[in-house]
Amino acid sequence: MDLMEAMSLDAGPSNGFVASGPSASAAAAAEQLADGSLPIFDVERVQLQFSIAADFVAAQVANNVIVLALSNGRILRIDLNKPEDIDDIDLPKKPSDTGVICRMFLDPTASHLVICTSMGDNYYLHSQSHHPRALHKLRGVPIECIAWNPSLPTASTREILFGAADGNIYETYIESNKDRFLQTLKRVTEAPVTGLWVDDMAEKDRRRVMIGTRDCLYHMAGKVGSGSYEGSRSIYAPLFDAEVPVTEEFSLTSTSSVSELVVSPDSPDSDSYENEKGDRAFAWLSAQGVFHGTLVTGPVTPDLGRRVMSASTLLPKTQLVSTTSPAKRRVAPDTIDAIALTQWHIVLLVGGRVVAINRLSGNKVYDQAILDNNQKAIGLTVDQQKNTFWLFTSGEIFEVVVRDEDRDIWKILLDKQQFGSAMKHAHTNIQKDAVSISYGDFLVTKAQFLEAATVWGKSSKPFEEVSLTFIDNAQQDALRKYLLAKLQTFSKSSIMQRMMIATWLVEVFMTKLNSLEDTLVTKAELSADLSQGQTQEQLAIVQSEFQDFINRYKNDLDQKTVYDVVGSHGREEELLYFANSVNDYNYVLSYWVQRQRWQEALQVLKKQTNPDIFYKYSSVLMAHCPRDLVEILMRHPNLKPRRLIPALLEYEHNYKGPLEHNQAVRYLQYVVSKLASTDSAVHNTLVSMYASQPSPDETALQAYLETQQQSEDRPRFDPDFALRLCIQHKRVLSCVHIYTSMGQYPQAVDLALAHGQIDLAALTADRPRENPKLRKKLWLAVARKVISQSSEGIKTAIDFLKRCELLRIEDLIPFFPDFVVIDDFKEEICAALEDYGRSIDNLKREMDESAKTATNIKIDIAALDHRYAIVEPGEKCYVCGLPLLSKQFFVFPCQHAFHSDCLGRKVLEQAGMARSQLISELQVKISKGLVTGRRKEEMVQELDALVASACVLCSDYAIKRIDEPFVTDADNLEKWAL
């Protein structure tokens, strides 16, 4: 019967396995316990959910895959991720032909399986195959152990090592369809090779080979052949030929003792498919006990093997096989049947007991009888990648469950004073704190105070105790380092603690800096270990540390306190650095100004953006470094120039140089021209500086006034204020300009004439072009002055006055002297008379033309009385559509005709309120006979004039109706349909 038919799958859990033990409620209660209250190790029986037809003879676990070999030659391959799918595999030959399966070897990825039988046949099975293939080249080779390729390939095994019962080590390369080669590398012993391990080293193309026999352990490390051989030849041969192994040998007390070499599984935090980051542990089981240590991977030096061996420890067999269990099922045997390594423990199968021993302390942490007297284990197997541990008997499977294995590792390492490793494996804050305190105490005993300061700073050791320890030992540097480290541990909410420690640190820093500087000044030796140059370097280092401290903890410092502390030590550089760090530029500027260090003050000012700083220090800086200050001010267009006016006026008051070098004027010119300031205070200040300058030159002021006059907006300065200043400082040209800009032309002309500025007066008088009367008046004032002061004769004065076309000779005669000769202006008088004659002729001609025009108008008016319009028979009213001749009607020149009553209604609808009311009143009076005779005729004419004044279809009435719709509600909409 087929094996699958013999399996009776029950309806239990779908994974095919279930751990037997306590009830579900007890298990749930156990899960609720804290990790620390559960034992590290526990062995749970795995209950199979199917029956088996034969006993187990071999078993392997890797990458969550279990491979079971049965005594009937069957192989069961079970993926624990899908346990319901079980692969049932047969060997190519029957057990009677090939023997019973005695060993199996599964690589860490569960891709490659090597099967060995009792008759010397060896088979290979890939994970993607269900048909084992015979390894013909390995026929008859009694395989005891295998070292898989460290690269963990999946398509092929690549180069792997076999350890045989004949003491030889073989190398081969297996693919799914063939064996590439088989080469004997070395015969290490007459006895069987019981263990092999290969791993990569820190350097490329270098590997380590560990070989275990019953009485000897070998370590070899060296360069292997190139991987480019691709299975064509051996890569381990160069290593075995060139390297001499380092040997650790123990006497063989019993030939029946078990020997085995095991290596710890992958760390749970690492990726097994990548290069190992940490060092693995190894354990070699021999007749003497368990020899274990760490497989360090670097540096690769010739003494690597010796370092590995010397750092390893032997756990005596007597210590391992002794039992601590009070309920012994039988007398403890003196043999160890199997061994396995976890991350931190050695797991042993001693008879029917499972024993776990901590590798670091050697203490036994678990000792439990698991197997009955009639049960025999066939293997203790480790899943290297998944960190699971399995115990197999001929009929049962047990899982060795490991919980929180490293919970006490930190304590063991701490006892061994391996503080770095202890801190690495301390998980809770309490554990880390305990390590830190112990480590600091240890460092102090070694007088390593600086190192202790850093460690204690992260611990809960009492602050006062640590501080007094450093003070009593005169370790100021350590105290500083401790305070810095302690400051980092306080939260932001611990304001008082942070401020006190930070302030204390300021004092400590100042003391240290003064001490170093005093040493340099006195050229003394700070200590026997420091020279002058080293002291200088240390001074720079401490200064840098202080600056870093300020930058990081400035918010924890009180400014006034720091100023007092640093100032009391006379540390100017540190004082200013702190002030700059906290952006207290008022203090920095005040500091430099008080010492009249103007350039330093300007350097600080260049970095400022707060306008208040500029306003506060502009007066004093303007007085001592005006040019540089103005350069800085001009780079800050966001300043309010009005706030700087006091400083500019104070500078102007003391300035005695030329205008072109006046820095206040320079800044105001920049504000007015570049920044386009509209502040009248700024403009008035600039005008006052222009007007009050000692030079009589008015060019700059005139240019400014001209620019203001040409601007589209009104002038930004106060004209009255500017005028008073110009009159006060006798700036005639500017006064005239201001009068002109204000439209006060008479005053401008009078002022120019009063100062003898004839040309200026003439230019001013010519400005009001839009007011000829005023212009003529101004020119007459100029004419009076010109004629009265003319020294070259009346002729020259008259030629000058010809510049104004409004002046006539008769206007000038009153200004001539009483006894002037008429010959001087006879031509002008004749020209004037001729102009008058021509003007009279033009007037006559215009009068004649006007008379003709009046006559033509009268003729046109008379023709209007004889106008008529022809009404065709059948013509209809444009409002009601009825025949026009049926009642009284009106006809317009545009040929539109309306009944009189229809036209009246339309006019009433469209006329204004007043006109409509008047028409209605006239209609009532006429229709009711309220008036008679001539008055009635007048009203009828008035009514006709109002109603028939214009056609309602094509006159102003029609224009006013432009917003009325074409179609109204009263119309037939179907007529408008398209």
Region of 606 (left: φ > 0; alpha: ψ -120 to 50; beta: rest) is: alpha
pLDDT range class, residue 814, cuts 50, 70, 90: low
Q: Provide the pLDDT for residue 794.
A: 59
Smallest CA-to-CA distance from 368 within 21, 18, 55 is with: 21
Q: Strand runs (DSSP E) across 887-941, as ranges?
A: 889-891, 897-899
pLDDT range class, residue 3, cuts 50, 70, 90: very low
The pLDDT mean for the chain works out to 81
Which has the higher per-residue pLDDT, 236 or 268? Answer: 236
Rounded to the nearest 10°, the torsion over CA 470, 475, 479, 482 is -80
pLDDT at 645 over 60: yes
Q: Provide the pLDDT for residue 21.
A: 40
Which has the higher per-residue pLDDT, 960 or 199? Answer: 199
> Which stretches within 639-744 are classed as H helix?
641-654, 663-673, 680-692, 699-710, 719-728, 732-741
For 104-146, the DSSP string reads EEE-TTS-EEEEEETTS-EEEEETT-SS-EE-GGGTT--EEEE
8 Å CB contact between 115 and 101 = yes
Which has the higher per-residue pLDDT, 195 or 893? Answer: 195
pLDDT at 307 over 90: yes
8 Å CB contact between 470 and 482 = yes
CA 679 to chain CA centroid, nearest Å = 42
Q: What are φ and ψ of residue 342, in 5° steps? A: -100, -165
CA dist list (Å): 161 to 113, 147, 196, 217, 859? 14, 5, 8, 16, 141
SS3 at position 311: coil
CA 604 to chain CA centroid, nearest Å = 30
pLDDT at 824 over 70: no
pLDDT at 31 over 60: no
215/288 Cα distance (integer angstroms)? 9
Q: Which of 21-25, 304-308, 402-406, 507-511 has the lowest mean pLDDT?
A: 21-25
Q: Which of 253-257, 311-315, 385-389, 693-697 has the lowest mean pLDDT?
A: 253-257
Smallest CA-to-CA distance from 551 within 560, 539, 543 is with: 543
pLDDT at 146 over 80: yes
Q: Provide the pLDDT for residue 367.
A: 92
849/628 Cα distance (integer angstroms)? 80
pLDDT at 855 over 70: yes
Sign, CA dihedral 719-724-725-730, equals: positive
β-partners of residue 369 are 353
Tokens 């779908």: give the residue: 14
CA dist list (Å): 952 to 364, 869, 891, 899, 906? 125, 18, 12, 12, 7
Tokens 């064996």: give the residue: 179
pLDDT (tens digit per residue) in 420-454: 888 888 888 898 989 999 998 998 898 888 888 88
β-partners of residue 384 are none
Q: Strand runs (DSSP E) across 895-947, as ranges?
A: 897-899
pLDDT at 147 over 90: yes
Q: Which of 117-131, 226-240, 361-375 has the lowest mean pLDDT?
A: 226-240
CA dist list (Å): 314 to 32, 116, 244, 288? 39, 32, 23, 8
Instruction: Enumerate long-range contacts of 150-153, CB under 8 Å, 24 or more apart.
Output: 150/198, 150/199, 150/200, 150/207, 151/200, 152/107, 152/108, 152/109, 152/272, 152/273, 153/111
Q: Provide the pLDDT for residue 173.
A: 93
pLDDT at 153 over 90: no
509/483 Cα distance (integer angstroms)? 11
pLDDT (tens digit per residue) in 569-608: 888 888 888 888 888 888 888 888 888 888 888 888 888 8
CA atoms within 13 A on the CB side of 537: 5
391/386 Cα distance (integer angstroms)? 15
Rounded to two decimals, the pTM is 0.60
8 Å CB contact between 583 and 604 = no
pLDDT range class, residue 334, cuts 50, 70, 90: low
604/585 Cα distance (integer angstroms)? 7
pLDDT (tens digit per residue) in 208-258: 999 999 999 999 999 998 766 676 788 999 999 999 999 999 887 676 788
Which has the higher per-residue pLDDT, 555 or 6? Answer: 555
- Other Cβ atoms within 10 Å of 217 Cβ, number: 25
- What is the mean pLDDT of the segment spanning 897-917? 81
- What is the mean pLDDT of the segment spanning 762-772? 69
For 328-366, the DSSP string reads -SSPPPS---EEEE-SSEEEEEETTEEEEEETTT--EEE
Inter-axis angle of helices 598-606 and 611-624, nearest 10: 150
Among 37-51, 268-282, 405-419, name the most confident range: 405-419
R_g (Cα) of the chain, nearest Å: 60
pLDDT range class, residue 638, cuts 50, 70, 90: confident
pLDDT at 782 over 80: no
8 Å CB contact between 457 and 489 = yes
Among 254-258, 354-358, 455-459, 917-921, name the most confident range: 354-358
- What is the mean pLDDT of the segment spanning 323-346? 73
391/796 Cα distance (integer angstroms)? 139
pLDDT exceeding 90 applies to what percent of the chain?
Answer: 27
pLDDT range class, residue 116, cuts 50, 70, 90: very high
The 3 state secondary structure assigned to 18-72 is EEECCCHHHHHHHHCCCHHHCCCEEEEEEEECCCCCCCEEEEEEECCEEEEEECC
Q: Provide the pLDDT for residue 325.
A: 54
123/132 Cα distance (integer angstroms)? 6
Strands 280-286, 260-263: pairing is antiparallel
pLDDT at 820 over 60: no
pLDDT (tens digit per residue) in 506-530: 999 898 888 888 888 776 554 545 6
- Provide the residue type at 954 as one letter: C
595/576 Cα distance (integer angstroms)? 13
pLDDT at 805 over 80: no
Which has the higher per-residue pLDDT, 912 or 873? Answer: 873
280/483 Cα distance (integer angstroms)? 40
pLDDT at 821 over 60: no
Q: What are φ and ψ of residue 259, in 5° steps? A: -125, 135
SS3 at position 930: coil
Q: Please give the structure tokens belonging to residue 867.
A: 């106008």
Give the DSSP H or E segment for 786: helix 772-789
8 Å CB contact between 567 and 575 = yes
Smallest CA-to-CA distance from 344 within 429, 410, 415 is with: 410
Q: Provide the pLDDT for residue 159.
A: 92
Write down how long the chain is: 978
Note the maximum CA span of the chain: 170
Cβ-in-10-Å burial (0-12, 13-18, 19+) of 357 comes to: buried
160/171 Cα distance (integer angstroms)? 6
Smallest CA-to-CA distance from 361 within 418, 415, 425 is with: 415
| Residues near 366 by beta carbon (within 8 Å), at least 6 away in sequence | 39, 40, 41, 354, 355, 356
Smallest CA-to-CA distance from 579 within 562, 597, 602, 593 is with: 562
Q: Provide the pLDDT for residue 714.
A: 66
